Amino acid sequence: MQGGGGEFDTTTKAIESVPSGNAKRNTAPRPDGKMVGAQAVALRVFSDRSAFYNCKIIGFQDTLCDDRGNHFFKDYHIRGTVDFIFGSGTSLYLNSKIFVEGDPEMAVITVQARESSSEDTGYSFVHGRITRTAKDVFLGRAWKSSPRVVYSYTEMDEIVHPGGWSSNRQPERAE
Q: Which residues are catalytic?
A: 83
* CA distances from residue 3 to 14, 22, 130 in whole angstroms, order as listed: 10, 10, 30
- Residue 33 to residue 6: CA distance in whole angstroms: 40
The per-residue DSSP string of 72-107 comes to: EEES-EEEESEEEEEES-EEEEES-EEEEPP-SS-E
The per-residue DSSP string of 139-150 comes to: EEE-SSSS--EE
